[in-house]
Amino acid sequence: MYWAKLQATTIRERVFDALNKNLNYNTELILGLPGTYLDQGQFYNFPFLKEAAFLSVLVNNPNHIGCHTYSEGEKYFSGTQQLEIDLLRICAVEILGAEESGYDGYVAPGGTEANIQAQWMYRNYFMQNENAKAKEIGVIFSEDAHYSVYKGSNLLGIHPITVKVEHDTREILLDDLNKKLEEAYNKGIRYLIIHLSMGTTIFGSVDSPEPVLKLVKQYFKHYFVHVDAAFGGFIYPFSSQKKDLSFENPEISSITIDGHKMLQSPYGTGVFLCRKSLIEYVQTPEASYVYGSDFTLCGSRSGANAISMWMILMTHGSEGWSRIIQELIDRADYLCNALNEMGIKYYRNPDMNIITIDANEISEGIAEKYYLVADNYLKPQWRKVVVMAHVKKEMIDLFLLDLKKEREVLISK
Ligand SMILES: *Cc1c(COP(=O)(O)O)cnc(C)c1O
């Protein structure tokens, strides 16, 4: 994995160069484009924009509609689209092990859309190539998977199939998987979308594809595997040696990776990636006025989102980003060691930065004071700490001190 770090001034120049290759509403004779010249009462050319590359793109408002790894897209905004293409290459090839030019993708509004896009694509593939009916298609996932899998299956009219996990290890229970596969097959389901997680939202747990696929193959001939790395995609590939959820594994056909979780980019930065020869199944040929056609769920989308991710990746380079992740992992280790000493029960994948503490081990007061998110806010069983950039050692120490005090009071009673 390697991409170079760039100086702040170089990043700014590259973004402004890209912007200059886009169409400019202020200087050109644009009669036909509705694509939006922002309201000038609010978004005029503030003097400070000259310094602020991302905000300049936001105000310039390029439309990145379409899928630029597949076709050229609206030529009006080809400058900034080129940076999106570069961003997608880093995500797909450098981080997730795809072959050069072996993938398609786009910057989606978020992980939810990217997950739905995957289900939509596979559903259409099964319907068009295998003559499948929607009711013969299922999507299978662990009970810790993100709730967007339910949204997608609801929208697309396909069956959601939830598999239980072991309470302490959060691993998919193979007995339950076997049972659910058999039930699905007996119900007439013949086509399967396997939704695996690289970092679940509450636990940071990471699914193992191998045992799951071994069982699936006993029942199903037709399946695709989608990996939801919305949360883990900018951590796990940097902290773990394992590649079985990346494109290096030929079983994996698509991946969601969000910028607006771990990469600290603004909302609107989910990334959808899939292998070549799949995105065609979600092409909307009726989008005839869109140059290059449309392959996405959302349609129009701001180029500024892609630029924000690109700028962050260029600021750190692969080495810098690896160091940042290592620091987070070290800090998570530090917290876990302290919890071990206190005998507090928790779940953590050692290559992730989420520590999910048994709700019985911690008072509601502390959970509220430190904004720990519960798995179920009505009936919490677990509460999580996410060690992100702003969670410094000092903050962890305060939390540990409070925990210790609380336990001393409990023990002395
Ligand atoms: C946050 C998250 C999503 C959904 O992402 P949005 O960007 O909120 O749509 C999907 N999957 C996982 C694992 C997530 O953590």
Per-domain residue ranges of the chain? 75-300, 318-412
The residues lining ligand 1, judged by C-beta closer than 6 Å to any ligand atom, are 110-112, 115, 146, 148, 197, 200-201, 228, 230-231, 258, 261, 270
Which position has the higher pLDDT, 266 or 44? 266
Between CA 409 and CA 413 the distance in angstroms is 6
pLDDT at site 191: 98
Top mutation candidate among 198, 205, 258, 301 for ligand 1, by most atoms within 8 Å of CB: 258
Task: Please report the pLDDT score of residue 76 as a whole number.
Answer: 85
Q: Mean per-residue pLDDT for 138-167?
A: 98
For residue 409, is pLDDT > 90? no
Distance 110 CA to ligand 1 centre (A): 7
Residue 363: its pLDDT value, please? 93
Per-residue pLDDT averaged across 383-393, rounded? 96
**Backbone phi, psi, residue 33, to 5°:** -95, 120
Q: Is the pLDDT of residue 72 over 90?
A: no
Q: Given this model, what pLDDT does residue 25 score?
A: 83
Q: What is the pLDDT of residue 291?
A: 78
Is the pLDDT assigned to residue 311 strictly greater than 90? yes
Domains 75-300 and 318-412 share a fold: no
Strand order, beta sheet including 373-374: 346-347, 354-358, 382-386, 373-374
State residue 310's pLDDT score: 98
Residue 75 has pLDDT above 80, yes or no: no
State the average pLDDT over residues 231-260: 98
DSSP string, 215-258: HHHHH-SEEEEEEEETTGGGTHHHH----TTSTTSTTEEEEEEE
Report CA(5)–ligand 1 centroid distance (Å): 27
Distance between CA atoms of 103 and 274, rounded to whole angstroms?
Answer: 6
**pLDDT band (50, 70, 90) for residue 103:** very high
Q: pLDDT value at position 369?
A: 96
Per-residue confidence (pLDDT) for residue 132, from 0 to 100: 98
CATH topology of domain 75-300: Aspartate Aminotransferase; domain 2 (3.40.640)
Place of tokens 């747990």: 205
For ligand 1, the distance from its centroid to the CA atom of residue 364, given in whole angstroms, is 26
Ligand 1 mean position, distance from CA 381 (Å): 21
318-412 belongs to CATH 3.20.20.10: no
